[in-house]
């Protein structure tokens, strides 16, 4: 049992090379980080070296080590041209500290910062207790990696870049998508993970406009067959994958055990349920752990309670409604954007960045929000922006009472393709 309250500290600056949110409990130190190359550096090799040098500096300043990095998500301006160079720099960074590499996902989602070719988000975990175990998952596809983290009463799996079989590299999207969800189910079974504890998914599609409706159909059918009635939080977004032969990949977070003291579907009064129009995900999930409340906010855009796009063609209006919807999801838990530990904002066009930044200033969005802003297509043609985030509250903060439970509610119905 935790002997002292969770401590949360934030540091760094969006204009500097790194930002972080540090969570420290009796059992472990966790660090969420956003790491960039220094400004004014040209060329992918030099930028990658600068980015990983900034990561090393951040870890050192926090009393952590390269061996503590659990997962990475790398955002590329040109994944085909740059991934091999970055892989080499990355391998050299970790070579002296560990025999393996962090579980990683490489994505074609160009950073919006001028001149930056790459950006990195990391999750770092340093156990302080012998009862806290971190084990690499075995038996995964070669491009996939994952970790199983076990602590008293809780187990968590972090799965990165799940892709399918090499022999389906040239198959149609539906076949690839079905194979991928079957593999996800297989990973859960192989590691004795209850399918009902699938908490969060990130689904990246190389061609979102063409393939998203098929993803929705396959996901709905698989979740219904598996008996998933308590739908995970999710983001479905454009993101060129690696290996590039695959048109879809999935990251996932799974949590279970007696220490998971309650799970609740998050709802907001300004947006409706995705399951009402056929998309098999929740707007967000609230997960209660002994020392914290974790709020997983799905990809959220400018949508109303009837599932309609709001402010068509108006990026200013869409940014405001998007933030309104996030606030509506966080507010019942006494949370705000200031409680965010990591976020990603997706803009349909890089030219929208100044508008988003201005709206954030006018709305008093925290300047130190750990938020990577990238260019990516959103799942409806009329949507111009989307944001996802995870927030963490110490258990001393108020959490709305009522429907917290470990049971599952809310299945997706057949209907039009509208959700993230």
Which whole number is the average pLDDT over 254-263? 91
Which whole number is the average pLDDT over 398-403? 50
pTM of the predicted protein model: 0.93
What are phi and psi for residue 100, nearest 5 degrees?
-110, -170
- When pLDDT is cut at 50, 70 and 90, the band that residue 182 belongs to is very high
Q: At what angle do helices 353-362 and 315-330 cross, to 10 degrees?
A: 50
pLDDT per position as a tens digit, 327-381? 999 999 999 999 999 999 999 999 999 999 999 999 999 999 999 999 999 988 9
Q: What is the pLDDT of residue 398?
A: 52
Give yes or no for residue 405 having a pLDDT over 90: no
Return the half-sphere exposure (C-beta side, CA atoms, 13 A cut-off) of residue 57: 16
User: With 0-12 CB in 10 A as exposed, 13-18 as middle and 19+ as buried, what is 393?
Assistant: buried
**CA-to-CA distance for 313 and 321, rounded, in angstroms?**
13
Query: Is residue 343 within 8 Å of residue 385, measured between CB atoms?
Result: no
Number of C-beta neighbours around residue 398 at 10 A? 11
Class (C level, CATH) for 1-130: alpha beta
pLDDT per position as a tens digit, 31-53? 999 999 999 999 999 999 999 99
Number of C-beta neighbours around residue 60 at 10 A? 11
Lowest mean pLDDT, pick from 63-67, 136-140, 357-361? 136-140
Lowest mean pLDDT, pick from 199-213, 235-249, 299-313? 235-249
Which whole number is the average pLDDT over 21-28? 96
- Give the chain's mean pLDDT: 91
Which whole number is the average pLDDT over 304-325? 96
Number of C-beta neighbours around residue 306 at 10 A? 10
DSSP state string for 181-202? HHHHHHHHHHTT--GGGEEEEE
Query: Quick one: 262-271+284-406 is in which CATH superfamily?
Result: RutC-like (3.30.1330.40)
DSSP state string for 34-98? EE-PPTT--SHHHHHHHHHHHHHHHHHHTT--GGGEEEEEEEES-HHHHHHHHHHHHHHHHHTT-
pLDDT per position as a tens digit, 6-15? 999 999 977 7
What are phi and psi for residue 34, nearest 5 degrees?
-120, 125
- When pLDDT is cut at 50, 70 and 90, the band that residue 382 belongs to is very high
Query: Is residue 271 within 8 Å of residue 321, measured between CB atoms?
Result: no
Query: Is residue 271 within 8 Å of residue 175, measured between CB atoms?
Result: no
Give yes or no for residue 310 having a pLDDT over 90: yes
Lowest mean pLDDT, pick from 185-194, 208-217, 313-322? 185-194
Q: Do domains 1-130 and 262-271+284-406 have the same CATH topology?
A: yes
Q: What is the pLDDT of residue 351?
A: 97
Query: Quick one: 134-260 is in which CATH superfamily?
Result: RutC-like (3.30.1330.40)
User: Which of 385, 377, 238 has the alpha carbon at shortest distance from 315?
Assistant: 385
Give yes or no for residue 411 having a pLDDT over 70: no
Query: Is residue 346 within 8 Å of residue 372, measured between CB atoms?
Result: no
Which whole number is the average pLDDT over 127-154? 92
Q: What is the pLDDT of residue 3?
A: 60
Q: What is the pLDDT of residue 406?
A: 41
**Alpha-carbon dihedral sign for residues 69, 73, 32, 186:** negative
Domains of the chain: which residue ranges?
A: 1-130, 134-260, 262-271+284-406
- With a CB cutoff of 8 Å and minimum separation 6, the contacts of 294 are 286, 287, 390, 391, 392
142-149 long-range contacts (CB < 8 A, ≥24 apart) are 143/242, 143/243, 143/246, 145/101, 145/102, 145/103, 145/104, 146/103, 146/187, 147/70, 147/71, 147/103, 148/191, 149/70, 149/125
Q: What is the pLDDT of residue 400?
A: 56
Which whole number is the average pLDDT over 322-331? 98
Q: What is the pLDDT of residue 335?
A: 97
- With a CB cutoff of 8 Å and minimum separation 6, the contacts of 357 are none
User: Which of 115, 46, 110 has the alpha carbon at shortest distance from 77?
Assistant: 110
Give yes or no for residue 108 having a pLDDT over 80: yes
**CA-to-CA distance for 320 and 302, rounded, in angstroms?**
8
Q: What is the pLDDT of residue 396?
A: 63
């Amino acid at each position: 049992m935790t002997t002292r309250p969770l401590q949360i500290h934030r540091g760094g600056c969006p204009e500097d090379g790194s930002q972080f949110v540090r969570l420290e409990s009796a059992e472990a130190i966790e660090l969420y980080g956003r790491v960039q190359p220094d400004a004014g550096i040209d060329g992918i090799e030099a930028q990658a070296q600068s980015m990983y040098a900034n990561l090393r500096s951040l870890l050192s300043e926090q009393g952590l080590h390269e061996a503590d990095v659990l997962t990475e998500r790398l955002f590329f301006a040109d994944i085909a041209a740059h991934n091999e160079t970055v892989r080499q720099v990355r391998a050299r960074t970790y070579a002296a500290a560990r025999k393996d590499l962090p579980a990683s996902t490489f994505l074609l989602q160009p950073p919006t910062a001028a001149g930056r070719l790459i950006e990195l988000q990391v999750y770092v975990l340093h156990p302080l207790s012998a009862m806290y175990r971190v084990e690499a998952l075995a038996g995964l596809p070669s491009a996939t990696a994952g970790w199983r983290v076990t602590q008293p009463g809780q187990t968590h799996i972090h799965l990165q870049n799940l892709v399918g079989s090499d022999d389906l590299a040239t198959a149609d999207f539906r076949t690839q998508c079905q194979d991928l969800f079957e593999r996800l189910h297989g990973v859960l079974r192989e590691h004795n993970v209850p399918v009902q504890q699938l908490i969060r998914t990130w689904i990246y599609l190389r061609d979102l406009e063409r393939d998203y409706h098929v993803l929705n159909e396959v996901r709905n059918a698989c979740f219904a067959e598996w008996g998933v009635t308590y739908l995970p939080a999710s983001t479905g977004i454009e993101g060129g994958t690696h290996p590039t032969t695959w048109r879809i990949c999935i990251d996932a977070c799974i949590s279970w055990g007696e220490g998971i003291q309650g799970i609740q579907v998050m709802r907001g009064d300004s947006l409706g349920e995705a399951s009402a129009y056929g998309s098999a995900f929740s707007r967000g999930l609230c997960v209660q752990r002994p020392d914290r409340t974790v709020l997983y906010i799905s990809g959220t855009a400018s949508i109303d309670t009837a599932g309609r796009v709001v402010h068509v063609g108006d990026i200013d209006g869409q940014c405001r409604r998007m933030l309104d919807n996030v606030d509506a999801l966080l507010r019942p838990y006494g949370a705000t954007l200031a409680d965010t530990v990591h976020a990603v904002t997706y803009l349909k066009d890089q030219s929208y960045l100044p508008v988003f930044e201005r709206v954030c200033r006018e709305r008093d969005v925290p300047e130190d929000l750990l938020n990577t802003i990238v260019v990516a297509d959103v799942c409806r043609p009329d949507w111009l922006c989307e944001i996802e985030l995870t927030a963490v509250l110490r258990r001393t903060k108020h959490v709305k009472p009522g429907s917290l439970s470990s049971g599952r509610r809310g299945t997706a119905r057949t209907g039009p393709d509208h959700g993230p």
